[in-house]
Structure 1
Amino acid sequence: MKASHERTQNVFFLLIPGVHLLDMAGPAQVFDAARALGAPYRLFFCGTSAEVRSAQGVVFSQLASLPQCHEDDLIIIPGMRRLDFRFPLLNAEARSWLQRATHLGVQIASVCTGAFALGEAGLLNGRRCTTHWRRVEQLQQRYPEAHVLDAVLFVRAGPIVTSAGIASGIDMALALLEHSRGPVFAAQVARELVVYMRRNSMHAQTSVYLAYRSHLHSDIHRVQEYLLEHPAESVSLKQLAAIARLSVRSLTRAFKEATGITLIQYQQQLRMELAATYLQATDSTVEEVATKCGFEDVRHFRRLWRRQFGAPPSLSRQLYRTEKKDYDEKRRHSAF
Structure 2
Amino acid sequence: MPSAITGVQDLFTIANHQAGESLFVVNPLTSAVPKTKWERRVIFIPPCLSEDLPSFSHPDTLALLRLWYKSRAVIVAACAGVFWLSNSGLLDGKQVRTHWRLCQRLSDNFPNIKSVDGREVVVDQGDIVTAAGLYAFQYLILHLIARFSGYTLAKKVSDFCLLDLNGRLQAYYNRFYPDFSHGDKLIVKAQQYCASRLRLNVSVLDISGHCHTSERTLLRRFKEATGFTPKQYILQLKVEDAKKSMEQGKISIDEISADLGYSDSSNFIKIFKSISGIPP
Q: Does TM, scored on the shorter chain, surpass 0.5?
A: yes
Once the 2 structures are TM-superposed, how far is the Cα of residue 21 of structure 1 from its aligned partner?
2.5
Residue 259 (structure 1) aligns with = 247
CA distance in structure 1 between the partners assigned to 2:42 and 2:2 by the alignment: 19
> Which of 59, 62, 74 is equivalent to 1:107?
74
Q: In structure 1, the residue corresponding to 2:64 is in which secondary structure?
A: helix
What are the Cα deviations for residues 42-72 of structure 1, in whole angstroms up to 9, with x where unaligned? 111233xxxxxxxxxxxxxxxxx34426671
> Which of 121, 125, 133 is equivalent to 2:88?
121
CA distance in structure 2 between the partners assigned to 1:264 and 1:66 by the alignment: 57
More helix by share: 2
What are the Cα deviations for residues 188-230 of structure 1, in whole angstroms up to 9, with x where unaligned? 11223232x2234xx521559xxxxxxxxxxxxxxxxxxxxxx
Tell me if structure 2 keeps the 8 A contact 1:75–1:106. Answer: yes
Tell me if structure 2 keeps the 8 A contact 1:26–1:167. Answer: no
Residue 30 (structure 1) aligns with = 11
CA distance in structure 2 between the partners assigned to 1:182 and 1:263 by the alignment: 43
Stretches of structure 2 that go unaligned for 5 or more consecutive residues are 174-243, 254-269
Going from structure 1 to structure 2, the CA distance change for 1:262 and 1:102 (only over 3 Å counts) comes to farther
Tell me if structure 1 keeps the 8 A contact 2:85–2:91. Answer: yes
TM-score in terms of structure 1 length: 0.48
Stretches of structure 1 that go unaligned for 5 or more consecutive residues are 1-19, 48-64, 209-255, 266-302, 312-336
Once the 2 structures are TM-superposed, how far is the Cα of residue 309 of structure 1 from its aligned partner?
9.4
Residue 92 (structure 1) aligns with = 59
Q: In structure 2, the residue corresponding to 1:110 is in which secondary structure?
A: strand
Tell me if structure 2 keeps the 8 A contact 1:71–1:105. Answer: no
TM-score in terms of structure 2 length: 0.57
Going from structure 1 to structure 2, the CA distance change for 1:198 and 1:308 (only over 3 Å counts) comes to farther
Residue 83 (structure 1) aligns with = 51
Once the 2 structures are TM-superposed, how far is the Cα of residue 33 of structure 1 from its aligned partner?
1.1
Going from structure 1 to structure 2, the CA distance change for 1:33 and 1:83 (only over 3 Å counts) comes to same
CA distance in structure 1 between the partners assigned to 2:34 and 2:251 by the alignment: 53
1:68 aligns to 2:34 (yes or no): yes
Tell me if structure 1 keeps the 8 A contact 2:44–2:77. Answer: yes
Once the 2 structures are TM-superposed, how far is the Cα of residue 262 of structure 1 from its aligned partner?
5.2
Q: Flag the structure with larger Rg.
A: 2
Residue type at the aligned position of 2:59: A
Amino-acid identity (%): 22
Residues 129-278 of structure 1 mapped to structure 2, 5 A cutoff: 129-146=96-113, 147-195=115-163, 197-200=164-167, 203-206=168-171, 259-260=247-248
Going from structure 1 to structure 2, the CA distance change for 1:171 and 1:264 (only over 3 Å counts) comes to farther
Residue 43 (structure 1) aligns with = 26
Once the 2 structures are TM-superposed, how far is the Cα of residue 134 of structure 1 from its aligned partner?
0.9
What are the Cα deviations for residues 142-191 of structure 1, in whole angstroms up to 9, with x where unaligned? 21111211111011113101100122110111011111111111111122
